[in-house]
Structure 1
Amino acid sequence: METAKVKLILTDLVEQVRTSYQYRLKPTKEQAEKIDNTLDMLRYQYNYQLAQRFDWYEQNRCSIDRCSLVICHIPELKDKPNRFSQQATLTQLKKDRPWYKDIHSQVLQEVPKKVEITFDRWVKGDANGKRSGKPRFKGKGQYKTFTYPQFKKEHFQNDKITLSKIGTLKVIVHRQIPDGFDIKTVSVTKKAGGYYVTLSLEDKTVPTTKPDFDVSNIVGIDVGLIDFIVTSDDERIAAPKFLRKAERKLKSAQRKVSRRKKGSNRRKKAIQKLGKQHKKVADTRKDFHFKTANNLLKKYDVVAVEKLNIKGLAKTWLAKSVNDAGWGQFISILTVKAENAGLKVIAVNPSGTSQECSNCGHKVKKPLSQRMHNCPNCKVSLCRDLNASINIKARGTHALKAQSMSS
């Protein structure tokens, strides 16, 4: 085990570490109007460029892949719009519509990039070949973020940030940027609770593995709906169920929206209050995920988790509870925090972790309603979630050994 530990440390090189910090903005009334106008103009451009893609797709696709006639007419195919061809039209756009000069050029160039990613996920699929649904045009208020792809660190000093074409805005700095980190990109987002800025940070000097990394200090965790996680050391954290607890307030806020006349100021205020309620639930859940991940990484160097099909589970009758638990967000936060701390999160095959006996390996089939694992082979009896977490730990340990052998 010590040999594997040494190998794992030696094979890790110094790499770039990425993280992000989000702060709340306090814009003046004029600055808030500029942000709103920027988002609205970008929304128009997004919809226009997406329509260009749809137009090309409809005119060039054909359900017939062969022709029985000797001679047939083949229409001339149009060039497919891409990110660079659509970016090239932005110069003419500013001549035809001078008000677009109020947007920084690089911010405007990010729109074709966003359109291309969205469209290609629908037509081609992602890296795993999974295709997304057909993209939708953005309605008023639905385009909520714009990004500066390049940013100088000196433009963020103390509690002020300078954004091109927007001005110098006040920032509520609840935590300082660590020394050695460079600001790579800056995104401005409008949420129900106000305006926020997200800084993407990079540090090229942080090693991927901490010096005293111990590969044997591993824990397996089983996520669930009754207990949010159960560790292989039999530690449990109850599922907080933030959405379930807030349902009464959410339903009341939703009814107020339904009763208001469409287009009225009272309806807009009711929608804003509803949005704040949803944001509060999301923020509370995210804070819980961060604290849970932090507590795990303080105790363990390696965390083994199941590679769950969360999107598939979110389409079942358990959808509401799965979305309320937010497993995907938690595992993502845990993985990023582990990488930044020089630790490791390893995903294992989830097949049979609850059915397989952690003591003897015998498979004991049981329904989801059966919460105890009782093995007829070795007579062991324990909670099914604890049994699963022990199996996850064993699979994680095996995967680590395989990685160290291959390196």
Structure 2
Amino acid sequence: MRSAYKFRLYPTEDQIKKLEETLETCRQLYNDALAAKKEAWEDDRYNLTYYEMARQLSANRKKNQALKAVYAHVLQDVLRRVDKAFQNFFRRVKNGETPGYPRFKGRGWYKSFTYPDAGTGYKIEGSKLILSGIGAIRIFKHREIEGKIKTCTIKRDSTGAWYAIFSV
């Protein structure tokens, strides 16, 4: 059974800047990947797969400093989100439901990013959450996490507060 634990983060001003830059880079990648999938479908009736987008991401990371600054697995998770949005769209079309085509994300509409691997991407040491590419952020861990941590999602809510959500 999967469950989630949500803890408040207390980043410094520099860490907030890095978190916001990461969020913006992920939003731009999401929109770029969505545009590429849409263009491939409209031009050639070809469904661009996650693996093809991931290969393009590898090439783009060598050229783009903003992509290079973000942990690679976080970027790969963004591509998985795009792929999942399209899979859900086609599933709803097939089942005769109201489809809802995947949407581009404007500023303020992309609120989280996910570290899919413990140990290398993130780790908890005492009252600090260490995120690759961002650093050690103070976390208020008000209870123990029971189970094996699968993912860590960093989320900014509407008030500007930051949270770490651990899926176990």
Q: 2:23 aligns with which of 39, 42, 46?
A: 39
Residues in 1 aligned to 2:98 and 2:41: alpha-carbon distance in whole angstroms: 16
Q: 1:115 aligns with which of 64, 82, 104?
A: 82
TM-superposed CA distance for 1:131, in Å, is 5.0
Q: CA separation of 1:131/1:56 partners in 2, compared to 1, >3 Å: closer, same or farther?
A: farther
The answer to whether residue 111 in structure 2 is matched with residue 144 in structure 1 is yes
The sequence identity of aligned pairs, in percent, is: 33
Residues 117-167 of structure 1: CA distance to partner in whole angstroms, max 9, x if unpaired? 112222332896645301111101211111011113992132211110010
Q: 1:88 aligns with which of 44, 50, 55?
A: 55
Q: 2:127 aligns with which of 159, 175, 195?
A: 159
Conserved? CA contact 1:40–1:141, under 8 Å = no
- Amino acid of the structure 2 residue aligned with 1:150: D
Q: CA separation of 1:96/1:131 partners in 2, compared to 1, >3 Å: closer, same or farther?
A: farther
- Amino acid of the structure 2 residue aligned with 1:164: S
- Amino acid of the structure 2 residue aligned with 1:182: K
Q: Note the residue ranges of structure 2 that are not aligned, 5 or more in a row.
A: none
Residues in 2 aligned to 1:164 and 1:131: alpha-carbon distance in whole angstroms: 39
1:2-401 to structure 2, matched below 5 A, reads 17-60=1-44, 79-125=46-92, 130-152=97-119, 155-178=123-146, 181-193=147-159, 194-201=161-168
Conserved? CA contact 1:147–1:186, under 8 Å = yes
Q: Secondary structure at the match of 2:143?
A: coil
Conserved? CA contact 1:104–1:164, under 8 Å = yes
Residues in 1 aligned to 2:65 and 2:101: alpha-carbon distance in whole angstroms: 32
TM-superposed CA distance for 1:58, in Å, is 1.8
Residues 315-348 of structure 1: CA distance to partner in whole angstroms, max 9, x if unpaired? xxxxxxxxxxxxxxxxxxxxxxxxxxxxxxxxxx
TM-superposed CA distance for 1:52, in Å, is 1.1
Q: Note the residue ranges of structure 1 that are not aligned, 5 or more in a row.
A: 1-16, 62-78, 202-407
Q: Normalized against structure 1, the TM-score is what?
A: 0.39
Residues in 1 aligned to 2:126 and 2:2: alpha-carbon distance in whole angstroms: 22
Higher relative contact order (CA 8 A, sep 6+): 2
TM-superposed CA distance for 1:99, in Å, is 2.6
TM-superposed CA distance for 1:29, in Å, is 0.4
Conserved? CA contact 1:186–1:198, under 8 Å = yes
Q: CA separation of 1:177/1:97 partners in 2, compared to 1, >3 Å: closer, same or farther?
A: same
Aligned residues: 166
Q: Normalized against structure 2, the TM-score is what?
A: 0.90
Q: CA separation of 1:129/1:113 partners in 2, compared to 1, >3 Å: closer, same or farther?
A: farther
Q: CA separation of 1:96/1:152 partners in 2, compared to 1, >3 Å: closer, same or farther?
A: closer
Task: Report which of the two structures shows the higher radius of gyration computed on alpha carbons.
Answer: 1
TM-superposed CA distance for 1:198, in Å, is 0.2
Conserved? CA contact 1:145–1:188, under 8 Å = yes
Residues in 1 aligned to 2:59 and 2:152: alpha-carbon distance in whole angstroms: 26
- Amino acid of the structure 2 residue aligned with 1:41: T
Equivalent position of 1:372 in the other structure: none
Q: CA separation of 1:39/1:126 partners in 2, compared to 1, >3 Å: closer, same or farther?
A: farther
Equivalent position of 1:354 in the other structure: none
Residues in 2 aligned to 1:28 and 1:128: alpha-carbon distance in whole angstroms: 47
Residues in 1 aligned to 2:97 and 2:143: alpha-carbon distance in whole angstroms: 38
- Amino acid of the structure 1 residue aligned with 2:42: E
